[in-house]
Chain A
Amino acid sequence: MTFLGEFALWAAFLVGIWTAVTAFSGRWRDRPAVALAVRRAPIALTIVLWAAAIALWQGLFTHDFNIEYVYAYTSRNLPTYFLISAFWAGQKGSLLFWALVLSMFGALVQAMTSRRHEELLPYVAGVTSGVIVFFVAVMLFSGSNPFERLPFTPPDGRGLNPQLQHPGMVFHPPLLYLGYISLTIPFAFAVAALLARRLESGWIQAMRKWALLSWTFLSVGITLGMWWAYLELGWGGYWAWDPVENASLLPWLVNTAFLHSVMIQEKRGMLKRWNMGLVIGAFLLSIFGTFITRSGVIASVHSFTQSGVGYFFLGFLVVLAVLSFTLLYTRWPELEPDAQLEALVSRESAFLFNNLLLVGIAFSVLWGTLFPILSEAVRGTKITVGPPFFNRVNVPLGILLLALTGIGPLIAWRKASIANVRRQFVVPAITALVTLGALFGAGLRNGYSLIALSMAAFVLGTVAQEFWRGVRARGRLYGESVPVALGQLVGRNRRRYGGYIVHVGIVVYFVAFVGAAFRTTQQVTLRPGESVAVKSPFGSTYNLSFLGVSQYQALNRVASAASLDVTRDGKKLGVIKSEKRQYMDSFGRPTFQPSTEVGLLGGVREDLYVVYAGSVDGSERSSFTVHVNPLVWWIWFGGLILVVGGLITMWPGGWQAAPVTRLAPARESVEVPA
């Protein structure tokens, strides 16, 4: 099967080159048959790349340890679901996964795009195929071929890294990859629109849902990554501002900016250049993230093994940046806005400042990630840029962004009158002030936390008010009851109200992030039968009684499980269990250092998070790290809200684009003197 895999890679390489060259050569304009063939080529690419993927999975499932990749990432006793995820656990497999998914997206976009945008599709096929060719070329020419064979056949593999043997790693990497990869489609449409000089807003309609899809995948992928880090890395947190984590945040931030500013282009025909720049930037940042992850140029615990692959990505990044921005420059005069902004206080301005902050935060994250390199280049001194730097720089910007999340929807399009502003701001502002007073009264004195929670209340007030106004309007229009009006309101205006639900998800994230400021950590050594009291930031007291350590064998590991009986304020909560796991190969030989599985008793208010550090003297007398992490549950809940909002926004049928004249100006708009 490896022969088939190799053959499929070469076939994908050649078909991809043919597609890209034919699409960009421009000859298809006069030859419809060639254009049609170019549009069908992504299907051929998908077929051959599936053949390669099946060949690799076949090697993984049959334990063909003669294949270096199978040897390096699996063992005979690895559970089946991890044999599936081993496909993307290593550098080589993940490159193939990337090419495979992009080929499927490339084929889907050809099949699903409206005929109105037919002229763009051959170029889209050219761009997607070009990117696929790059990934296949990296596999074939940089020593990253997943089908590379060893000169001998080992009896068993090295096994999968224990930290990757977690359900989070089955779903987190592919979802994050889906987010990264699907950013290629908006980029392909942008390049196609620039090449075909179809620079009205039609291309945006063709790709907007792809940008949303990518945003949703990235959101879920990042959240699952936090979940995995929280449960598996054992330090009690979920985000450490690691370069690889930062790299995933960058395209998300820029794509979020685009999803806001694209509304201005759709409604007013403005920001065409800016939107092009954001689409190109988001894609380039996804490649930059891949470069960071694979180059080893910046130290990260999440990186793949250091290899020369990173420099292929750097070269690709530079070439793409030069080509796409040069193309944008040549079309600059054709991207004139159709209208001008009419007032400083308007929805458009709020969106612009929102964009500024999102891109500003992306810049500050990028700046912080690269600053060690810059500092070393300028001063010749190595420095570390860790969480204290990022928190100091980004927290104020994040709070400002949260405030704008609430302000934007309150301001009228085009120009807001004082009456409009006053009327719209009353409820959210009162909500924020009441929250501020209540928190202060409850004894909260942390400045950032007070501001962030008040701003969160402000945004929730805004969203609630928007829903209530919509429900009342529908009640007046159609005589609907509140539940019916609410359902109809969301169902018939999915983009708008789905967006508000996403805002609620973001607020929930911010509330959860505030909880991190009140985390407590304590180390303790206990004998069986001894107990320790741990204070919660909310004032209650946990009592942990150590029951002892049991050692048992599981499929591919020996686990040493330390159990503690937990009560809170005298009320029994249950038994918490943290493990040391020594993974073994099928011959019973240890494969990695013992790893730690955290014990968790989670709740809406806080998580009790226990880590078994190990034995102090070879007996059951053991040391533990005990964290109390407030509000972490809300991150996962916020992620769920985000996905629901994203799905509502994307769901077909709720919003139709049609080339007709738009809304009459809002009442507030005409009240204001010129």
Chain B
Amino acid sequence: MNRRGFLARGAGAGFALLLPQRPGRDSSDALKQPELVGQLQPIVSAQDNDPGIVAVERRLHCTCGCGLDIYTCRTTDFSCTYSPALHREVLDLVKKGGDARAVVAAFVSKYGESVLMAPAPRGFNLLGYLVPGAAVLAAGSILALVLVKRRRPVAAAPVPAAGAAPTPEDERLERALRELDA
């Protein structure tokens, strides 16, 4: 390279450095290493954000084993191939005129009951919903009954200590609090 060529290249490089640039971009917007950003993503359509579609997909379990619903999986795990396919199924069913109930029913008949994020509250599954609340209610009722039956008249004398006792500081504070309340 002659001196003129060298100077021209140097000036060109310096000028290029002065130009405002976004990091990692070249003129074509193509990524240098596209394979490092995972699989290509579909262009987001209006239907992808449709509240009705989202609501249905939140009720349906992705079958990839992630434990998430279809909507959460397709907006989180971008390497999952199941949730985009399930999303397309939902869109197809809606396109054919299916409402939320019909879409869910179609999924259950195709994938089984495990496709629901929570079992339908009927039959044996109703037990699943009722048992915790019923158990707490029953235990609470029994507890209240026992408390009513077993309560004893209040003794005027101090109760003997069973274990730890308050410090004199505690006692002073308690006395002061009682005086305050009186």
Contacts and interface: CB of A to CB of B under 8 A. Distances in A.
Contacts, number: 318
Interface string B92-132: 00000000000000000000111111110000110011011
Contacts of A582: 36
Interface in A263-321: 265-270, 299-301
Contacts of A561: 24
Most A CB contacts (10 A, CB to CB) among B23, B44, B69, B150 go to B44
Contacts of A473: 173, 176-177, 179-180
Interface in A110-135: none
Nearest to B169: A492
Contact of B128 (A235, A352, A371, A492): A371
A415 interface: yes
Contact of B154 (A240, A397, A670): A670
B133 A397 contact: yes
B128 A204 contact: no
A375 interface: yes
Nearest to B167: A656
A234 B66 CA distance: 13
Interface string B169-182: 11111101111111
B164 A341 contact: no
A5 interface: no
A102 B45 CA distance: 54
Contact of B143 (A352, A657, A665): A352
Contacts of B79: 593-594
A105 B67 CA distance: 36
A613 to B, nearest CB: 5
B117 A353 contact: no
A207 to B, nearest CB: 12
Interface string B24-57: 1100111111101111111110001100001000
B39 A381 contact: no
B150 A341 contact: yes
Interface stretch (A29-37, A56-64, A141-149, A384-392): A384-392
A565 to B, nearest CB: 11
Contact of B159 (A343, A378, A420, A662): A662
B54 to A, nearest CB: 8
A614 B158 contact: no
Given A266-B163, A596-B78, A547 B176 contact: no
A588 B29 CA distance: 25
Contact of A477 (B31, B48, B176): B176
Of the four ranges (under 10, 10 to 19, 20 to 34, 35 or more), the interface on chain B belongs to 35 or more
A204 B163 contact: yes
Contact of B163 (A265, A301, A672): A265
Contacts of B118: 384-389, 392
Nearest to A415: B154
B3 interface: no
Given A379-B124, A383-B114, A663-B174, A615 B40 contact: yes
B19 interface: no
B68 interface: yes
Contact of A340 (B150, B173, B180): B150
A389 B129 contact: yes
Contacts of B154: 342-343, 414-415, 665, 669-670, 672, 674
A522 B49 contact: yes
A595 B68 CA distance: 17
B5 interface: no
Interface centre among A204, A371, A383, A524 (most CB of B within 10 A): A383
B52 to A, nearest CB: 14
A667 interface: yes
B172 A385 contact: no
Q: Which of A378, A386, A496, A594 has the most CB of B within 10 A?
A: A386
